[in-house]
Structure 1
C-alpha cells in the first residue's frame, strides 16, 4: 500500500471529526461519573467505540455521495480515484463492526445505542439525507446522542440531556450551513435539500434562528445551578463566536466563507465541551 492510498484511507474517515467524537465521549463519561477513576477504562473504550462508528458513518456517506462529491468535493478520496468504492465499503464494514463489538463490553444500553446509531447512520446516508431538514435533524440528533451514549456508560443520563440539546442545536444550524455551501452540487445531483427547496435566504434565517435560540439557552444551566461560574465564563466566549457566525452568515454567502463558518462551529463545539467540563468541577 502506497503512502497516497494510506493518506486517503485516513482522510475518508474525516479524522478531525473522529477525534472530536472520541474526545466528546471520553470527557463526557468522566464528567457524568463525577471523575470516578474506575470508569477511566470505560471512557476510553466508549471514545473508541464512538470514533469507530463515526468513521464508518463518514465512509458510508462518501460511498453513497460519490456523484455529488465529484461536483462539490472532487478531491475527496473516492471521486479523486485514490480509493475505490469497494475498498470504502470494506472499510465501512470493518470500522462499524468493530465499534459495535467493542460497545458490547460497556453494557446493554451502550450496546443498543451503538447498534441503533449505526443503523440510523446507514439509513441517513442511503436515503434519509435526501429529505429536507429531516436529514439535517438526523445528523444533529446523532451528534447529541454521543452525550446520551456517554451518560449510559456512566449510568447518569440525566446530566447528559443539557449538552445533548446544545449539541443538537449547534449541529442542526451547521448542517443547514453545509447544505447552503453544497447547493450547486446538490442541485445537479437532483437532491431536495432545504436550501434548494426554500432558498438560501430562508436557510440563512433558519440557521441564524437556531443559533439565536442556542445563545438564549446557554446561560440557563448556570442560572439553574447545574454548572459553576467557569461554565458561564467559557460559554460567553462560545456565544460571542455564535454571534459572529450569524453576522458573517448574512454578510457573506460565498462557498469559502460558508466552509469557514462551518469549521468555526466545529471549534465552538469543542469550546462548549470545555465549558461543561470546567463548569462541572
Structure 2
C-alpha cells in the first residue's frame, strides 16, 4: 500500500463531509448567538475542536466497526487494507488530542460540553451502538450539541437550545433509517439495533413520526423571535425534502438517509439566513 493510498484512507476515516458539516453547525451556533464578530478566536477554536473531534470519532468508530464493515462497507479504508486497525486507532488518538488542546482554550461551559462529547464519541461504538435506540439517541445528541458548543464558546447559549432540539430529532430519524439500511451486517454481528428489536417497518414508522414532530417544531425559532420571515422561506423547502425522505425510507432506506442529510443541510442554511436577516433593517 503506497503512502498516497494510506493518506487517502486516513482522510476517508474522518468522513470529511461529516467533519465539514459538524464544523459548520458549530459556527452556526456561534453565529446565532451573535458572537462571531465579537469572539472570532473562540469561534475558530470551537470550529477546529469540532472538526478534530468528529474526525477522531469517525476514525475510532471504523476501528471498532472493522468486522461489521467487512460485510456492510467493504470499500472503507480498514476493510480494503488502506489503513491498518492499529494505524486507525493511533490516528484517532492524535485527532482527539488536538481537539482537547483547542477545547481547553474556551469558556467553562464549552469545555464541559466538549468533555461530555469526547467521552461519548469514544464510548459510542463499544458500549452504545448495539443498544436499541440508545446509540441512535447518542448520535442525535452529538450532532445537535454542535449548536450548543458553538454558542457556549461565545457564552450565549440561549438561542441555540431550539436549534439543538431540532437538529437532534432530525438526526435521530436519520440514524434509525441508517440502521434499517445496515440491518444485515448488524444482525450477523449480533447487534440489537432498533430495527432488529422491533422490526424494520415499525422502526421506520418511529423515524417518520419523529421527523414529522421536528418539521412541526421548525417554526418555533420564528415564533420565539430568534429569526425573521426569511428563515421560514428557507426552512419550508428543507421540511419538504425531509418529509419526502421519510416517505421514501419505506422503499429505499439508502436513498432516504442520503436525501435526509441534504434536507438537514438546507435547514442549517435556514438558520444562517434567519439570523442574518435580523441584522438587516426591515427583514
TM-score by length of 2: 0.94
Select the structure that is richer in helix. 1
- For 1:150, the equivalent position in structure 2 comes to 150
SS of the counterpart of 2:77?
coil
Question: In the TM superposition, what are the counterparts of 1:202-281 in structure 2 within 5 Å?
Answer: 202-250=202-250, 252=251, 257-281=252-276
Equivalents in 2 of 1:101, 1:181: separation in Å? 37
Deviation >3 Å, runs of 4+: none
Give yes or no for contact 2:107–2:155 (8 Å, CA) kept in 1: no
Correspondence for 2:281: none
> Is residue 2:154 matched to residue 1:126?
no
Partner of 2:24: 23
1:108-161 C-alpha deviation (Å, 9 max, x unpaired): 222222122111111112111111001100000111111111111121111110
After the TM superposition, which of the residue ranges 23-32 and 87-96 deviates more from structure 2?
A: 23-32
Matched, 1:52 2:52: yes
Are 1:30 and 1:40, in contact at CA under 8 Å, matched by a contact in 2?
no
What CA RMSD, in Å, does the superposition of the two structures yield over aligned residues? 1.3
Q: Give CA-to-partner distance per residue, 1:218-256, whole Å, 9 cap, x none.
A: 122223322100111111011111221122123x1xxxx
In structure 1, the residue matched to 2:279 is none
Kindly indicate whether the alpha-carbon contact (under 8 Å) linking 2:69 and 2:76 is maintained by their aligned counterparts in 1. yes
**Alpha carbons 1:31, 1:280 under 8 Å: kept:** yes
Q: TM-score, normalised by structure 1?
A: 0.94
Q: May I ask how many residue pairs the two structures share in their alignment? A: 275
Give the Cα–Cα distance (whole angstroms) in 1 for the partners of residues 80 and 139 of structure 2: 25
Deviation at 1:271, TM superposition (A): 1.2
Q: Is the 8 A contact 1:107 1:153 kept in 2?
A: yes
Which residue number corresponds to residue 78 of structure 1? 78
Residue ranges of structure 1 left out of the alignment (5+ in a row): none
